[in-house]
Each structure stands twice: as C-alpha cells, then as structure tokens.
Structure 1
Amino acid sequence: MSEKTSGSNVSIDNIYKLDGRVPVAKAIPFGLQHVMAMFVANLAPILLVCGASKLLGSDAGKIGGVELARIMQSAMFIAGLGTLVQLYPVWKIGSRLPVVMGVSFTFVQALGYIGTNFNYQTAIGAIIVGGCVEGCLGLTYKYWKKIVSPIVSACVVTTIGFSLLAVGAKSFGGGYVDDFGAPKYMLVGLITLVSCIAFSSLAKGFWKQLNVMFGLIVGYIISLIFGIVDFSHFTGTINTVGFIALPRVLPYKPIFNPGAILSVVLIFLVSAAETIGDTTAVVAGGLDRDITEKEVSGSLACDGFLSAVSGVFGCMPITSFSQNVGLIAMTKVVNRFTIMFGALILILAGIFPPVGAFFSTLPEPVLGGCTIVMFGTIVVSGMDMIGKCGFTQRNTIIAALSISIGIGFTQTLGIFDYFPKVIGDIFAGNSVAGVFVLSMLLNFVLPKNMDVKKLVGMR
C-alpha cells in the first residue's frame, strides 16, 4: 500500500516516477545512496591530477596540503550544483533527468600532462574554454544530432559498462594499495556484495531498493573491524580547512594556452560522447523509453557549462557519473525529488568539509563490492539497446568492429607508439573515445540499406 500524507500527492511509490514527491524521511536515504556510490570516485581524479601538477607562484611547486583540500571541497560543491541543474534545469541547461554529476576521469591524462609540463593555471584556462565549447555544442545539438544515431549511442553505453568492469574489480581488490588483492580486501568486498544481494532478495517493497546503502553500511563496519578505514584525511581536512568554508571563486588566475586548449577541447568531445551514452542509458534503463532531443541537448549543455563553472572554482571538469547510471538501472529509482537530496548532501559536503572528509573514508573494497554489479547492469543495458536497434548486417558490423577495436586497442600496450602523441593521449587510455569515433565513422560511410546480398556481390 502506498504511504501518503493526508491532503497531498506525497507517496513512496513516486520513487519509480520521474516527477512527484516522496516523504522526506524516505527520500533522504535514497539520495544518500547515490552520494555514497560515487563519493570517492568524485575525488580520485583530483588527487591524480593535483599530484602531478605544479602551481605557478607556489613555493612548494606541487599542489598539496591546504590547496588540495580546498580543490576537493570545490569538487564536492560543483558536483552537487551540477546534479541539481541536471535535475531542475536553468533555461536550456539541464536534462530534467536523474543524472548525477561528478569530476571526470576522462580528463586525468590530458590535464596531468598540462599540469606537469605547464602548470595548473594553464589547465584551468583550458577547462573554462573547453567547457564553454561543449556547452555550446549541447545547445546546438539539433543541428548535428543525426551524427550520433541510436546504434552509436548503444555502442558507447556498452563500452562504458565494459570499461568500468576493471574499475569495480580494482576497487574490490583494495584499490591503489601495496598489498592489492590481500585476503582482507577480498573478504570485505565479498561480504559487501553478498549483503547487497541478500538485502535486495529479502527486503520487502521499496526498502529492497536501498540494497546498495545496506551493503555500504555493512562493508564499512567490517572494514572498521579489519582496520582498513583510513581516518588520516578526515582529521587532516578539519585541521587545514576547518569545519565551515565556502568554495573560492577564481582561486587561480587562468592562463589560456592555445595548445593546451586544443587538447582539452578534444577530450571534451569524448566527454560529450560519454554523456550522451550515460544519459541514454538512464532513460533506457530507468524510464524504459527513448531519449529526446531536448534531454540530450540539456544534458550536454549542463556537462559543458558547469565544467566551465568548475574551472572558475579552481576545479576539474565534471560529467555524468556512470556509477549512478548503473545504480538507477539496478534499482529503477528515478525520482528527481529523491535524488535532489543527494545533490544537496554534496553541496553541504562542499560547505562543511568534515562531511565530505567522512565520506572519503569509505574503503575501496566496500565500493567495489557495491559497484561491480552496477557496472554489469550498464553492459546489459547497452546490449539491450543494440538489440532494440536490430541485428542487421550493418548494425552488427558497426557494433562488432567499433567495440573490438575500441576496447582491444586500449588493452594493447604500445599500439599507439608511432601515432602523433595527441592521438595516443586521447585513445590509448580511453576505450569510449575509440568506440565513439569508429562507430560514428562506420555509421556515416556504410550504406543505409546494406544487407548480406550486397556484401557478397549479389550472389
């Protein structure tokens, strides 16, 4: 039976509907579940890029200490702001879909190179320009939408799922630790995974959709028992930033270098492909329908312009988070009001650093145990999308060739060594980029009415 408040349309059943109100006490844990699923991954790109970048005008040269803590604070704030705009658009910016935003891994290699060989301020300048370019592409999507056909989107979604499987496995085994794969990490990951599955199987009604939250709590408790929860960052953040701190606007003066801007703009095009794939997967997996032109346009505009805003706050670009796409596909919880609480939690974490610091203590094996199933659901959603496109000779060639080359080449070391460096930077570590470009090219050059007889010479 629906749980409703008298004289209103507030109902727990609305968690499966895009619009409608859900009781606040029930909405908060669902929103929190989305935050916990992506929190550490939202901060990881910052650590990687800042660890390699030098800061112009800094005595220490490298970014660390208070500066790093403040950039991570901005990352939480901008992720929440971006998610809020996706849920409740501003003008044409935002998709009005349950898309959760976070700092993008796609830019790590390019921004790390710029931060090392130039400086972090040059990276910020490139982010601001590149974000505006993608945002404008989003607003003009109707003029170039035919380039990205349904089979192209299906290939991209499938590849996003495949590319995340290794991420889930890496977390399951302990993440970036010296004793990766140690029994304690594997056991924590397994207990977390089993907890998620057991709760989903045994819980009744809407409660079963909180299986990831339950797994995270159980896994965290087991991690405390095993002594693998690291509280050093929690105490360090409080000591350096304090309990309350507003994100800084233009903490670093942007430097606009043409070469850096060009390379980052190219990566923004790849990020746009991932956003199209993620947004399409949210609609297909959560709402069981095709995505609209307006939704893609708003999603891309938010992805781009909010990335530019992120640069203004001294932070890296943000994009749609595939972890949360998998969560939506698995739970079918798509209510915007519910996920809004996740956005608000992220914003609060950006204003109250200890909140974010606590979430960052979630151990990698716990995240791996929860996300490994979610990532698999993205693969299944992509396959389902390919099936809906139809297994014609043309679609089969597009999917088979783009996925095999796009994924296969990223797993083969040295295959891009004789290509220009910019090609290697874009494609060597990003299978989604290769699949996107190849599937688009094949979709453009292969005949629309292609069939078996034409392929074999009309035998």
Structure 2
Amino acid sequence: MADTSIGTPEQLRDPHYTPPLHKAIPLGIQHVLAMFVSNVTPAIIIAGAAGFGFGSNSPDFPELLYLIQMSMLFAGIATLLQTFTVGPVGAALPIVQGTSFAFLPIMIPLVAGKGVDALAALFGGVIVGGIFHACLGMFIGKIRFALPPLVTGLVVTMIGLALVKTGIQYAAGGVPAVGTPEYGSLLNWSAALVVIIVTLGLKFFTRGMLSISAVLLGLIVGYVYALMVGMLTFESITGSWSNAAAFALPQPFKYGIEFSLAAIIGFCLMAFISAIETVGDVSGITKGGAGREATEEEIAGATYADGVGTAVAGIFGGLPNTSFSQNVGLIAMTGVMSRHVVTCGAIFLIICGLVPKVGGIIRTVPIEVLGGGVIVMFGMVVAAGISMLSDVEWNRRNMVIFAISLSIGLGLQLEPDAVQYLPDTARILMTSGLLPAAFLAIVLNLILPDDLADETTEEVSGGMSGHGKGSFPKRT
C-alpha cells in the first residue's frame, strides 16, 4: 500500500514528482538494498572463473576490487541515464540498472582460467554488445514477435540452470577447493545453510525493509557466523580494508581492448534477450506504479540507456548492465513512482563505486557464505523462467520447440567436449548452452507451422498436450 504521507495519490503515480528529501533518500537506499548483492555478485563470479586470487595479499586482489568497484559505479551511472535522460537515452522512469546475470554463461567460458589477460577480449565484447544493444532501441517494438514467452521463458530458465552449479561449488568451498578434503565439508555447508535459512525466514515471515533486503541480511548473518566459527578473522577484514584505497577514479581501457569474434557474437545475441527483459520491466513499472501501459518512447529510451550504460561501463572495466526486476516489484509495493527517489539510490551507488574500501569489505565475505546467497538468487532465476513458461500453451508444436532447444542447449553445457573439434569461437558459443538453446527456440518458433499445434501428441506427452492450461484429456 502506498504511503500517502509522502504525497497525494496523484503525485505518487507521477514519475516527475519529487518527494521531500528526508523521505526520498531512505526510499532510494531501499532500492539499493534490494539489488546490492545481485549487482556485485557477477564481478566476483567472473573473477573466480578467471582464476583470480581472493586473498588480500594476492596479486590479483586490486583487480578484484576494481571489478566490484566498477559494478557499483556504473550501475549508478546507468541508473542516472534512466532517471535523468540524455536526449533520447533514458526512459525518465524509476528504473534501477545493475550488472546482468544473463551474460554470465557467455562471459565465464571467455575468461575461464585465463586470469587478467582474458579481460581485454571480455570488455571488447561488452563495448560492442552495448552499442548493438543501444541500436535495438530503434526497432525494439518490431522484433518482440520473435520472442514470445516460450522463447524468453526458456532462455531465462537456461540462464538459471547454467549458474546453479556455481552456487553449489561456492557453498562447498569454491572452485579452488575442488578435490581437497575441505571441499564440501560440514563447516562449509553450515555457513551456506545459515544464509539460506535466514534469507527464507526474512523473506516469508517479515514485511517491509526486512523482507526486501532478505538476501543482504542473510549474508550479513552468515558473515557473523563465519567470524564466530573461525572461517573469517578480524585480521583478514582489517587487511582488506587497509589494502584498499579510500578513493579511486575509474581508468579507461585499464585492461586494454581486444575484439574477439566469440565475445562480440555472444554479447550481441544476448543483447536481444536483455532488451526484451527491459521491455518487460518498463511495462511492469508503469503498470504497477502508475496503472498504465508504457509508451513507445519510454520503451525505446530504456533500451537506449541499457546499451549506452553497458558500452560506457565496458570502456572502464564494468560488466553489462540491465534493468533490475526486483526493483519493479518494490515500486509496486511502495506505490512510489518518483524517478527522483531512484536517483538518490543511484548517487549512493556512485559514491560506493568511488570508494574501493567498500569493495574491500565485500570481498572478505567467505565464498561459502556467498554461496548461500547465490543458491537463492540463481534458483529464483530458474523460478522466474518457469513462471514465464506458465503462460505458454503446451501443444505439440511448443513442446517440440522446448524439448529440442533445452536438450541441445543443456546437453552441450553439461558435455562441452562433445564439440571439442569446433573452432575456438564456435566452441565457446556452443558450450555456453544458452546461445544454441535461444537460437534454436527462436528459429523453430518462426519456421514451424502453427497448424502443428492442433495435432495430437500421445507419443510425446502421454496424451496430455493439445489441451489448455489446467485441463485434462477426456476419458474414452
């Protein structure tokens, strides 16, 4: 229910309304709390995949801090593009931007075990993909027909399935610990389980700020638990704090620039999915906050901001940005549509991004504790995909499209050696799993005739398909 002490009902539905500052700032920070963990997690995952050392004395420690720092800084800058707008760039709506999980299945194979040297090609792909993403704003409405819930739901589900392994590995002790006696120990799992239990408890048995920031608070409790059982020491915390600078500006092309065909193709293809996700978020904001449909200008402006924010982030060592769906729900819950509230949150993110000591503290979170939060977050990604698939009419045609796309995409992801003789570019794209699944789903959806939907499918589905949702075949 909306808080009418902030403004009249008409004001609360107006994105241009500015609430009193003493109310706008806490509401803005509330938006940051809802997305903070999700925003910095991709940077930590990419660092781990590349083989960065996580200890405060590791030579890679400054690079890890920098990636975390850029995640916060450019999430804030991209959010400002949405709320303030620059020409056609931005929707002038309370859209919160953050680092996208969707690109992780593409980024992880690009950097796997290659260290800092892999980042030049990664950020080259981010820049080109961001420019391509921005160009989609010119005709985003015209390509929506190619991405129905069957396709988008499959892709979102595949994103989650591609990442759940990472959550389990983190909870068990992290990739470097695989094969050691400590990997999968009860101590490691206890830290992850504390985070999961606290997160679920807060999410379902509390309201307001406690429920909204459940994952963040779960990680804090897990952090304290790790201190109590000796998984983390005060010396490591103070070491990380002292080794991180108090203030630092972003550096353009810090890791150089390299244009890899695999990276460019991967990022450009994923831009389609990210753009459609943003369209859904913009529609959700205008419906939930203002009770109306989004305009074409708002949808195009949001897509432009997605792409421009990603391209600029790539120049300085930031990962791809997208609109954050959890904040859409927050707007519907609070009833406050003001874009200036989100601007306050963006400024807070920018300040955090300019202070590496914040990243230094984040990095002291034990990998097992982070694993508990990641399991929840990636599981929610899978659940979101399944929720989207619930809108699909499961006839023969759609079942075949889903079955083939999922089987090939997930199969290649689980057994990457099956395409070991492909050229490097094709192998990286195929073993992501996500891209072949998305490609097959889009192509099959466009070329398979609709009249297949009317045919019976007992041989595939036990006689259950061809019926509407919630219905059963008649007995004969």
TM-score (norm 1): 0.77
Which residue of structure 2 aligns with residue 156 of structure 1?
155
Q: Equivalent residue of 2:104, what SS?
A: coil
Q: C-alpha displacement at 1:45, in angstroms? A: 1.6
Q: Which residue of 1 aligns with 2:99?
A: 102
1:58 equivalent in structure 2 = none
Q: Which residue of 2 aligns with 1:59?
A: none
Residues 275 and 299, structure 1, Cα contact 8 Å, conserved in 2: no
Which of 382, 407, 417 is residue 410 of structure 2 equivalent to?
A: 407
Q: Which residue does the alignment assign to 2:464?
A: none
Q: Does 1:139 align with 2:105?
A: no
Quote the residue 1:270 is aligned against.
269
1:357 aligns with 2:360: yes
| 8 Å contact kept, 1:151–1:399 | yes
Q: What is the SS of the residue equivalent to 2:452?
A: coil
SS of 1:401 mapped into structure 2: helix
Q: 1:431 — aligned with what? A: 433
1:5 is aligned to 2:5: yes
Which of 437, 449, 452 aligns to 1:450? It is 452
Q: Is the 8 A contact 2:396 2:456 kept in 1?
A: no
**Counterpart Cα distance in 2 of 1:241 and 1:200:** 33
- Once residues 356 and 332 of structure 1 are traced to their aligned partners in structure 2, the CA distance between those partners, rounded to angstroms, is 31
Bigger mean CA offset, 393-402 vs 447-456? 447-456
Query: What does 1:294-333 align with in structure 2 at a 5 Å threshold?
Result: 297-313=300-316, 315-320=317-322, 325=325
Could you tell me which amino acid in structure 2 is paired with residue 167 of structure 1? T
Tell me the SS of whatever aligns to 1:101: strand
Please give the residue correspondences for 1:80-95 in structure 2 after superposition, counting only pairs within 5 Å: 80-86=76-82, 89-94=85-90
Q: 1:19 to 1:381 in 2, by over 3 A?
A: farther
Given that residues 151 and 395 in structure 1 are in contact (C-alpha distance below 8 angstroms), is that contact kept between their aligned partners in structure 2?
Answer: yes
- Alignment-mate amino acid for residue 196 of structure 1: T
| Alpha-carbon contact 2:24-2:340 (below 8 Å) kept | no
Shift of the 339–217 alpha-carbon distance from structure 1 to 2, 3 Å rule, reads farther
The aligned residue for residue 468 of structure 2 is none
1:247 to 246, 250, 275: 250
Gaps of 5+ in 2: 459-476
The alpha carbon displacement at 1:23 in A equals 5.2
Residues 233 and 357 in structure 1, CA contact (< 8 A), matched pair in contact too:
no
Secondary structure at the counterpart of residue 420 of structure 2:
coil
CA offset at residue 328 of structure 1? 6.4
What SS class does the counterpart of residue 99 from structure 2 fall into? strand
**d(CA) in 1 for partners of 2:279, 2:452:** 26
Deviation at 1:245, TM superposition (A): 1.6
Q: Tell me, yes or no, if the aligned pair for 1:134 and 1:300 is still in contact at 8 Å.
A: yes
Secondary structure (helix, strand or coil) at the match of 1:242 reads coil
Shift in Å at residue 118 of structure 1?
7.7
**Aligned residue in 1 for 2:183:** 180
AA matched with 1:310: A
Q: Which amino acid aligns with 1:76?
A: M
After superposition, residues 19-418 of structure 1 pair within 5 angstroms as: 24-25=25-26, 27-46=28-47, 48-49=49-50, 51=52, 64=60, 66=62, 69-70=65-66, 72-86=68-82, 89-94=85-90, 96=93, 98-102=95-99, 104-109=103-108, 111-112=110-111, 121=120, 124-178=123-177, 179-204=182-207, 207-229=210-232, 242-251=245-254, 254=257, 260=260, 262-276=261-275, 278-279=277-278, 282=281, 297-313=300-316, 315-320=317-322, 325=325, 342-418=345-421
State the AA in 2 paired with 1:101: G
Q: Pairwise CA RMSD of aligned residues?
A: 4.2
Q: Which amino acid aligns with 2:450?
A: K
Q: 1:168 to 1:424 in 2, by over 3 A?
A: same
Name the SS for the 2:321 alignment partner. Answer: strand
Deviation of 1:355 after TM superposition, in Å, equals 1.5
Are 2:130 and 2:307, in contact at CA under 8 Å, matched by a contact in 1? yes
CA contact (8 A) 2:71 2:98 kept: no
| CA 43–380 in structure 1, closer or farther in 2 if over 3 Å, else same | closer
The Cα offsets for residues 223-268 of structure 1, whole Å up to 9 and x where unpaired, read as: 111222377876566555521122223446645x5xx2x3222011
The structure-2 alpha-carbon separation of the partners of 1:109 and 1:408, relative to structure 1 and needing over 3 Å to count, comes to: same
Q: How far is the alpha carbon of 1:222 from its aligned partner?
A: 0.9
Asked whether the equivalents of residues 32 and 345 of structure 1 are also in contact (C-alpha less than 8 Å), the reply is no
2-side partners of 1:171 and 1:338: how far apart?
Answer: 35
Q: Deviations over 1:363-387 (max 9, x none)?
A: 3333333343343333333223223
Aligned partner letter, 1:25:
P
Shift of 1:440: 0.7
- Could you report, residue by residue, the CA deviation over 1:354-405 in whole angstroms, capped at 9, with x for unpaired residues? 1222122223333333343343333333223223232222222222221222
Contact 1:174 1:364 in 2 (8 A): yes
1:349 is displaced (CA, Å) by 2.1
Shift of 1:442: 0.5
Contact 1:280 1:290 in 2 (8 A): no
Query: What's the % identity of the aligned pairs?
Result: 25
Distance 2:236 2:282 in 1: 37
Runs of 5+ unmatched residues, structure 1: 53-61
* Secondary structure, counterpart of 1:451 in structure 2: helix
CA distance in 2, matches of 1:291, 1:418: 47
Structure 1 CA distance, aligned partners of 2:236 and 2:301? 36
Aligned partners of 1:230 and 1:284: how far apart in 2?
46
Secondary structure at the residue paired with 1:310?
helix
Q: Secondary structure at the match of 2:429?
A: helix
Q: Relative to 1, partners in 2 of residues 1:190 and 1:17: Cα closer, same or farther, differing over 3 Å?
A: farther
Q: CA deviation at 1:143?
A: 4.3
Q: 1:92 to 1:331 in 2, by over 3 A?
A: closer
Distance 1:80 1:402 in 2: 36
**One-letter code of the match for 2:168?**
A
